[in-house]
Structure 1
Amino acid sequence: MQQRLIEMRGISKAYPGVTALRNVDFELSRGEVRALLGKNGAGKSTLIKIMAGVETPDSGDIDVDGRKGALRSPAEGIKAGIATVHQELSIIPEMSVAENIFLGRWPRRAGSIDWNTLNAEAAAILAQLGFNIDPRVSASQISVAQRQLVEIARAISKGAKVLILDEPTSSLVTQEVEVLLAVIQRLSAAGVGIIYISHRMDEIRRIATSVTVLRDGTHIRTAPVDEVSNSDIVKLMLGDATTASSHRAPAGHVAGKAILSATNLAVLPRVTSASFEVRAGEVLGIAGVLGSGRTELLQALVGLRRPASGQMTLEGAAYAPKDLRAALAAGVFMTPEDRRHEGAVTMLGIDENLVMASWASVSKFGIIQSGKMNQTVNQSIAQLGVKLARPGEALANLSGGNQQKVVIGKALNAKPKVLLLDEPTRGVDVGAKGQIYALMRDLATQGLAVVFVSGELEEFPEVCDRVLILRDGQITGEVTGDDVRTQVLLDATMGERRPA
């Protein structure tokens, strides 16, 4: 039997109005890769925070690598050998890769930073992990995917015995995922215990040795991963919740007139020619590999990027928004991929975030009318099914899925005609994904034009009426009807097949 690195028994934790964990048991052994699964709000984040010393439990017993008792601070967690790589990155763009890896632990000589040693040690760690990144370059000059790898390098540099990875591949392309999974296998073989939080079942099958499922703050089951099927895991996560398999439009559904159209739109350097239209009452997908220009295309539609050439029309009239405010005034709104830093202000309340783009509707002469604001907020919370303690609590307290619902709610309160959703289900669990799909379909049914961008091709068949293929800087075709299937989309985006 492998040495136990973590043993937790009867762990409970409550916050005002919410019980996050109820009598949860959890253990992790040397070299084990444990998948930790559950819907957003199931208690995963609270459990790993307690492991790492960020939170203290209300009750229960903890033994971390022979140390009895809860860790009382993140510093104690690091000292105990527990490192966490969060889904939301904490890289400082103004610093170099090497500085970020050894943040707060820079080697010194004669009172100054020893840059040669710093860069050499960072290069050694990056080489050990198989990451081809120059340690001297500014973090602002590397991709989001590479920043994720730097976060992992930072964790390993601390000599972690337990490595917690929260959705580590959500920003990575296929090749980088393969590198990461190989690193995990090497670390596991060296005795590092890995806690792997992900909603990608193919990765869990490949990398995990065991799986723990939480639901509503309760430990449901722990088992070897080869003893539970994917459908078993979904049932354990959702319980008695309804699991609709599709949110596609019913047979015979016909979309309305074109609301937004683009002709030969170029958004350099990624998009050289894109011609398409978005119709009222439909969910239109845009599929392409990472780096194909999906996000850049959406940003051009809301004035965040200036097209190099081409034309756009909105309801038949010329449309060329200078900025977000102009796009919003015209009825086009976008929810960004990075919800925490670009889509919301997490230190503000849930209520404030929900009306952030529609202050005029809840104010009079520039003064907020509490009655109007409360009415709007309560309607949004009910419509979106946001799980919260109270509307005024900080958005940061919510799970990722519930934060995403608030970001979408903010957009809906702005009353758009066209809603652009950039990776709205990134890092969101199975149950919350279904809720977001259902919301997208409801909005389309009400006549809204919805555009959906995702890096996970299996999502498009769940909800899209049409899918545009963005490849080699161009819209190369579209997939419709029964052809909206994962394999067809994969072939089209990778260039194996070009749809009509």
Structure 2
Amino acid sequence: MNESVLSMKGIHKRFMGVHALKGVDFDLRVGEIHALVGENGAGKSTMMKVLTGIYEKDSGEIQFLGKLFHPHNPKQALSAGIGIIHQELNMMEHLTVAQNIYIGRETMKSGGLFLDEKGQNQRAGALFDRLNMNIDAQETLNRLTVGKQQMVEIAKAVSHDLKVLILDEPTAALTEVEIEELFTIMRDLASKGVAMIYISHRMDEIGQITDRVTVMRDGEYVGTNETSKITKEDIINMMVGRVIYEKPKVKSNVSADAEVVLEVSSLNAGRLVKDVSFKLHQGEILGFAGLMGAGRTETARAIFGADEIQSGTIKVRGVPVKISDPMVAVAHGIGYLSEDRKRYGLATGLSVIENSLMASYNKYETGLFIHAGKIRAITEEYVNKLSIKTPTIDQLLNNLSGGNQQKVVIAKWLINDAQILIFDEPTRGIDVGAKSEIYTLMNELAAQGKSIIMISSELPEILRMSDRIIVMCEGRVTGELDIEGSSQKEIMKYATMRENV
């Protein structure tokens, strides 16, 4: 177990204006599960991209299986025995499971003239048997759950005779049952000698599944400890260099006579929004809790005009409004931070300034001209206010960490002066330090009189931030709870209150 399979020493990597890795060290033992943690922007992803040949290191040394190792591309790293499972799965949904696993190296017959589908399916089936995975090799990928799709990707990686497997936020979109299945597979792989690098922001999971923890901060190596000998609080303090407090809210901060700024009545939209009604008050953080498929995101999208409403009414400050598309919602002072920020909230190929002003250019136009000085000044103001880490406001967004990208989305709606903000999974994929900053920001916005709907799948987050909680199950509102006296157990009771029960 103490035999080293991988060693990285003194790794440096610079980009334009950013020293991303500053002499970082990391070592990995045969058959261990090793957590690599740090705030967004700490350098974890850059380090793994150097290891898998996506980036070339500027200096430093990598030893793999006792020899110097310098991969120039991911294919070279994979051939050597190092694979990575990214947070966004990289599969072809219209193909079968077996076709996905062996794409580019298909099983052939008749001297290589024809594809041997039967043989390929048998080959994939034998692989699943070896990995103790219950998956049909002939099933089309898009018919599998996200958890099963992830297992297929792991099987694909392992089929390359891996020595090292990197898992980047592997549990972000999984249910509790799927997480347990993943951990069982990881333990089995470790027992077969596969070493794993586990990147996650979920501290409880790190304590449950890993052997050692390495912490990075601001592109530097902080330290490595055995997981059993370090506490969650110790890890967080190493990550952020400060103490982070996570206490639940004990009472609402909203006055009894606060104005109702948004009232939704008998809203119906698609399969997952059924007769939804609720009120949002000025200065309130209204938490929306529920399990996957409860209809929370669908409700938010309907209110924002992204999805068509079949029936129901929406009032903004007592006035009925017909929101037919997002532009109308924005005109009524509603901003939406999507759970999938890269798909719906951001244009990662554009700069910080272009993304920040995306919803507000009309405010800075005079005829055919845009006031360049004003838009630079307002962007700089919010970059500073939100502590967005970027060398310049002209930096492309895809060069920023996930936490800083999320802050740019928030800046976009604050510059637009939206009064009603819908935060859909605002801290998904964000480290504890950035989470704490987002929480502080949300509380400040509520104190300034902004009203927030916060959709979250993390019950501690719901209990920490909400003044009041709406619980949904299968498209219906099943509970409305005051924060005072609320508990995870009570929320789950309503979150599982199916219609036929």
Same fold (TM over 0.5): yes
* Separation (CA, whole Å) in 2 of partners of 1:205 and 1:171: 19
- Aligned residues with identical type, % of pairs: 38
Question: 1:402 is matched with which residue: 401, 404, 420?
Answer: 404
Does the C-alpha gap of structure 1 residues 97 and 332 become closer, same or farther in structure 2, counting only changes over 3 Å?
Answer: farther
Contact 1:65 1:80 in 2 (8 A): no
Q: C-alpha offsets along residues 131-162 of structure 1, whole Å, 9 cap, x if unaligned?
A: 55555555455554444444333323333211
Contact 1:247 1:438 in 2 (8 A): no
- Aligned match of 1:286: 288
Contact 1:246 1:463 in 2 (8 A): no
Contact 1:418 1:450 in 2 (8 A): yes
Q: Which moved more, 1:249-258 or 1:370-379?
A: 249-258
- Aligned match of 1:48: 48
* Separation (CA, whole Å) in 1 of partners of 2:367 and 2:132: 59
Amino acid at match of 1:414: N
Q: Give the C-alpha shift of residue 214 in structure 1.
A: 0.9
Question: 1:369 is matched with which residue: 361, 368, 371?
Answer: 371
- Aligned match of 1:200: 202
Q: Secondary structure at the match of 1:462?
A: helix
**Is 1:234 aligned to 2:236, yes or no?**
yes
Does the C-alpha gap of structure 1 residues 155 and 248 become closer, same or farther in structure 2, counting only changes over 3 Å?
Answer: same
- Aligned match of 2:12: 12
Q: Secondary structure at the match of 1:276?
A: strand
Unaligned runs of 5+ in 1: none
Question: 1:348 is matched with which residue: 342, 350, 363?
Answer: 350
- Aligned match of 2:67: 67
Alignment of 1:149-228 (within 5 A): 149-228=151-230
Contact 2:253 2:284 in 1 (8 A): no
Q: Give the C-alpha shift of residue 368 in structure 1.
A: 3.6
* Separation (CA, whole Å) in 2 of partners of 1:332 and 1:141: 35
Question: 2:477 is matched with which residue: 475, 478, 490?
Answer: 475
TM-score of the aligned structures, taking structure 2 as reference length: 0.91
**Is 1:105 aligned to 2:115, yes or no?**
no
Q: Give the C-alpha shift of residue 370 in structure 1.
A: 1.8
**Is 1:24 aligned to 2:19, yes or no?**
no
- Aligned match of 2:385: 383
Amino acid at match of 2:391: A
Alignment of 1:117-136 (within 5 A): 117-126=119-128, 129=131, 134-136=136-138
Q: Give the C-alpha shift of residue 308 in structure 1.
A: 3.5
TM-score of the aligned structures, taking structure 1 as reference length: 0.92
Q: Give the C-alpha shift of residue 126 in structure 1.
A: 4.9
Amino acid at match of 1:78: L
Contact 1:39 1:432 in 2 (8 A): yes
Does the C-alpha gap of structure 1 residues 165 and 71 become closer, same or farther in structure 2, counting only changes over 3 Å?
Answer: same
Contact 1:458 1:485 in 2 (8 A): no
Contact 1:199 1:430 in 2 (8 A): yes
Aligned residues: 495
Does the C-alpha gap of structure 1 residues 309 and 252 become closer, same or farther in structure 2, counting only changes over 3 Å?
Answer: closer
Contact 1:425 1:436 in 2 (8 A): yes
- Aligned match of 1:82: 82
Q: C-alpha offsets along residues 82-140 of structure 1, whole Å, 9 cap, x if unaligned?
A: 11111133334454444433344344455565444444444554565555555555545
Does the C-alpha gap of structure 1 residues 151 and 448 become closer, same or farther in structure 2, counting only changes over 3 Å?
Answer: farther
Amino acid at match of 2:464: E
Q: Give the C-alpha shift of residue 378 in structure 1.
A: 0.7
* Separation (CA, whole Å) in 2 of partners of 1:11 and 1:415: 43
* Separation (CA, whole Å) in 2 of partners of 1:385 and 1:347: 21
- Aligned match of 2:259: 257
Q: Secondary structure at the match of 2:484?
A: helix
Q: Which moved more, 1:327-336 or 1:163-172?
A: 327-336
Q: C-alpha offsets along residues 270-297 of structure 1, whole Å, 9 cap, x if unaligned?
A: 3323211111111111000112112111
Q: Which moved more, 1:89-98 or 1:334-343?
A: 89-98
Contact 2:284 2:446 in 1 (8 A): yes
CA RMSD across the alignment = 2.5
Q: Give the C-alpha shift of residue 227 in structure 1.
A: 0.4
Alignment of 1:449-488 (within 5 A): 449-488=451-490
Amino acid at match of 1:319: V
Contact 1:249 1:441 in 2 (8 A): no
Contact 1:360 1:366 in 2 (8 A): no
Q: Which moved more, 1:424-433 or 1:267-276?
A: 267-276
Contact 1:287 1:468 in 2 (8 A): yes
Amino acid at match of 2:273: V
Amino acid at match of 2:224: T
Q: Which moved more, 1:307-316 or 1:182-191?
A: 307-316
* Separation (CA, whole Å) in 1 of partners of 2:131 and 2:370: 52
Q: Which moved more, 1:219-228 or 1:247-256?
A: 247-256
- Aligned match of 1:424: 426
Contact 1:466 1:484 in 2 (8 A): no
- Aligned match of 2:246: 245
Contact 2:252 2:483 in 1 (8 A): no
* Separation (CA, whole Å) in 1 of partners of 2:314 and 2:299: 12
Contact 1:98 1:122 in 2 (8 A): yes
Does the C-alpha gap of structure 1 residues 249 and 205 become closer, same or farther in structure 2, counting only changes over 3 Å?
Answer: closer
- Aligned match of 1:91: 91
**Is 1:266 aligned to 2:268, yes or no?**
yes
- Aligned match of 1:39: 39
* Separation (CA, whole Å) in 2 of partners of 1:133 and 1:31: 25
Q: C-alpha offsets along residues 232-276 of structure 1, whole Å, 9 cap, x if unaligned?
A: 11111111x352435859876427211112222233323323211
Contact 1:460 1:484 in 2 (8 A): no
Q: Secondary structure at the match of 1:483?
A: coil
Contact 2:253 2:467 in 1 (8 A): no
Contact 1:163 1:194 in 2 (8 A): yes
Q: Secondary structure at the match of 1:272?
A: coil
Contact 2:250 2:484 in 1 (8 A): no
* Separation (CA, whole Å) in 1 of partners of 2:359 and 2:113: 49
* Separation (CA, whole Å) in 1 of partners of 2:131 and 2:282: 48
Amino acid at match of 1:214: M
Q: Give the C-alpha shift of residue 347 in structure 1.
A: 1.6
Q: Secondary structure at the match of 1:307?
A: coil
* Separation (CA, whole Å) in 2 of partners of 1:92 and 1:478: 41
Q: Secondary structure at the match of 1:444?
A: helix
Q: Secondary structure at the match of 1:482?
A: coil
Contact 1:148 1:171 in 2 (8 A): no
Does the C-alpha gap of structure 1 residues 246 and 381 become closer, same or farther in structure 2, counting only changes over 3 Å?
Answer: farther
Unaligned runs of 5+ in 2: none
Q: C-alpha offsets along residues 337-362 of structure 1, whole Å, 9 cap, x if unaligned?
A: 11122221212112211112222123
* Separation (CA, whole Å) in 1 of partners of 2:327 and 2:139: 35
